[in-house]
A = this chain, B = another copy of it.
Amino acid sequence: TEVPRQRPNEIPHNEKLLSLKYESLDYDNSENQLFLEEERRINHAAFRTVEIKRWVICAMIGILTGLVACFIDIVVENLAGLKYRLVKDNIDKFTAKGGLSFSLLLWATLNASVVMVGSLIVAFIEPVAAGSGIPQIKCYLNGVKIPHVVRLKTLVIKVCGVILSVVGGLAVGKEGPMIHSGSVIAAGISQGRSTSLKRDFKIFEYFRRDTEKRDFVSAGAAAGVSAAFGAPVGGVLFSLEEGASFWNQFLTWRIFFASMISTFTLNSVLSVYHGNAWDLSSPGLINFGRFDSEVGTGIPHAGFSSLTFAGGILGALFNALNYWLTMFRIRYIHRPCLQVVEAMLVAAVTATVGFVMIYCSRDCQPLQGSSVAYPLQLFCADGEYNSMATAFFNTPEKSVVNLFHDPPGSYNPMTLGMFTVMYFFLACWTYGLTVSAGVFIPSLLIGAAWGRLFGISLSYLTKSSIWADPGKYALMGAAAQLGGIVRMTLSLTVIMMEATGNVTYGFPIMLVLMTAKIVGDYFVEGLYDMHIQLQSVPFLHWEAPVTSHSLTAREVMSTPVTCLRRIERVGTVVDILSDTSSNHNGFPVVESNPDTTQAGWVAGCSGDPHTRCLLQVAGLRGLILRSQLIVLLKHKVFVERTNLSLVQRRLKLKDFRDAYPRFPPIQSIHVSQDERECMIDLSEFMNPSPYTVPQEASLPRVFKLFRALGLRHLVVVDNRNEVVGMVTRKDLARYRLGKEGLEELSLAQT
């Protein structure tokens, strides 16, 4: 179970590739007799117990996610405080007597070494913990399994990695990774066991299947958003936007519950930590602070509109630059050591750029009345501080809030302009490094800087005090830049609204995000989607490409399909599963004729001389999964060929659940020569009513069925209910809408 990593010989030379290495998840409850028997045993009271368990799990998800967020926040705050105080003392010491180059060296070395540790653990222990984790969680909720993505080890590395990246002074945030952390917590709790810890707590066994796990992971992601931004509703909408195929009221309500608990936990713990227990003033890791909606709220609306294009264009530029950078990285920086070196380099450069900018800046502001955390005096007069330092010599979260709320006149336009340009390139370079880090805060920071700049220019140009508050422009700029980069829509609007704490700003924020998305989409797609595509993930979008009505299931499906008979020879099953050339995960079960000794039925292959074809009626009877067959073989649920009526060993649903989700490979199961001649009766274990489509069904129709029900396999049948093909995720994900209409991606077996 090697983590999928891009190797030089696997480089997608262009992005028009689809990897088959990712397994799909099955969000359809593939029901078989065992499952139905269990469900029938569940009466109303037992159902209520299950329901209560779900709520308890959601509460635990919320609490734990909140606590993890607190942990990150408190540790970052202390470590970063330590670092900044150290450097500040040093700078203060050397400002007078010269030798600031030593301070620069200290700062750069501190940053680089902290980031080195952060990068080392990610690169060598758990590479999937790199980045924000949002693309990975999007994929998971979409139905693609990225290996190791929801494991405890990943969580530990992620949390440590984020702390180290932020403390290391990179242009990153700790908010995005919370979504990943919340998801891992949810997956862990809901399954009641941990692979990393090798512990099975024997609880919540009912939830050990893909559907239930996905629902909890949605709740975890929502709780993560909620803890990060103090945005419980935004969290729910994020989960829905990314994950929901079919959702229901109770599920949404539970997700909301987890979100609320999460922000409330964070709020309580941080309030107690900061000594104002009853205030509840820290609903999220980042709080935008209070924006007033006093008289005149309506006026700036008009001004904001001019901002919205900039967000889209700058966002698109960011994504395009990052795309080339990522291609470069995939090609040349694929060895872990190199990745660590690059991360250190970026850390050192970030410190140097910051230092040089602060050094060169002559923008001094009076210290009195300002809330700056680590005021650097440098060459300013006594009682003044260097204003560039508020932006660079600070955690990015604090810089954002400063840009939003510092009174008009706190920043020199030149300072803001320089900062925007430098930070833009630094953030762009940083995203994609092998460190755990989010892109939300850097985006907000870039946007806040140029938004404020715009506000200042506007009030300078119009000479009217009515355009006075540059903080509001900073907020809108931040929204525009973030929207232009990530292209989230509804959820981002609500997240921004909730983080602002003021409903009045909803309308302009929505307009800004909408325009940023439209403008940005014109040039290049969103950052997360781009990275998902670069990883060649078979991601299914909301709808089939608009021009795909001319395609039918017949053209889309994979064929021929390996079928099994209802009562099948054990040897045949083993051979089919061991066949590495066709690594199928689902097999249609067709009308069985125990006298035929033919090895495996292959349907839909008429005309193909290379496959073994039986031109008998292969009417569909059911569908069985590879994982189920493996469990059957492992437990040797065989009957003697001569005595088919003999009752085979009873298996319970528990046996399947215990094996979930890491079913052993077929190679690990030994079947003797005698056993190969036994028969295996699949009737009880197969899903007797798999979803099917006729060959004439159009691609959008197939797509909708697949997406709405969260299917993994969809059997294509002809008029007589005979199997002619199979549609899986990769068959659908291959079709994309390109610039010149519908295009079909190639498949890469890597």
Contact = CB atoms under 8 A, between A and B. Distances in A.
Interface of A: 29, 31, 36, 39-40, 42-44, 47, 230, 232-233, 236-237, 240-241, 244-250, 252-253, 256-257, 260, 263-264, 268, 271, 276-280, 283, 293, 295-299, 489-490, 493-494, 497-498, 501-504, 506-507, 510, 514, 542-543, 546-547, 549-550, 553, 591, 619-621, 688-689, 691-694, 696-698, 700-701, 704-705, 707-709, 717, 719-721, 737, 741
A503 B501 contact: yes
Contact of A546 (B42, B241, B694): B42
A47 B689 contact: no
Contacts of A504: 280, 283, 501
B688 A546 contact: no
A489 B621 CA distance: 42
Contacts of A549: 36, 39-40, 42
Given A546-B44, A550-B40, A493 B256 contact: yes
Contact of A260 (B47, B280, B298, B506): B506
A188 to B, nearest CB: 25
A704 B29 CA distance: 10
A159 to B, nearest CB: 25
A697 B263 CA distance: 42
B489 A249 contact: yes
Contacts of A692: 692
Contacts of A245: 246, 708
Nearest to A702: B689
Given A252-B241, A503-B498, A507-B264, A47 B546 contact: yes
A278 B295 contact: yes
Given A721-B717, A741-B44, A249 B689 contact: no
A721 B620 CA distance: 10
Contacts of A490: 236, 249, 252-253, 256
B704 A693 contact: no
Given A490-B249, A506-B232, A721-B721, A705 B694 contact: no
28 contacts: A31-B701, A39-B549, A42-B547, A44-B546, A47-B546, A233-B237, A233-B506, A236-B490, A246-B704, A248-B543, A249-B489, A253-B490, A260-B506, A277-B298, A278-B295, A278-B297, A278-B298, A278-B299, A279-B296, A283-B503, A498-B503, A501-B502, A501-B503, A501-B504, A553-B689, A689-B693, A689-B701, A719-B721
A377 to B, nearest CB: 34
Nearest to A742: B44
A737 B486 CA distance: 44
Nearest to A247: B244
Contacts of A506: 232-233, 260
Contacts of A248: 542-543
A253 to B, nearest CB: 5
Q: List the number of copies, as a whole number.
A: 2
A262 to B, nearest CB: 11
Complex A-B, nearest 5 residue pairs according to Cβ-Cβ distance, in ascending order: A689-B697, A248-B542, A39-B549, A721-B721, A278-B298
Nearest to A494: B233
B720 A691 contact: no
Contacts of A688: 694, 696-697
Contacts of A620: 719
A528 to B, nearest CB: 13
B709 A257 contact: no
B708 A503 contact: no
A276 B294 CA distance: 12
A360 to B, nearest CB: 41
B701 A705 contact: no
Nearest to A43: B547
A497 B234 CA distance: 13
A705 B691 contact: yes
Nearest to A499: B503
A283 to B, nearest CB: 7
A503 B693 contact: no
Contacts of A543: 248, 250
Contacts of A278: 295-299
A47 B704 contact: no
Most buried by B among A29, A277, A698, A700: A698
A263 B510 CA distance: 13
A487 to B, nearest CB: 10
Contacts of A507: 260, 263-264
A249 B241 contact: yes
Contact of A44 (B256, B271, B547): B547
Most buried by B among A47, A277, A721, A741: A721
Contacts of A696: 688-689
A244 to B, nearest CB: 7
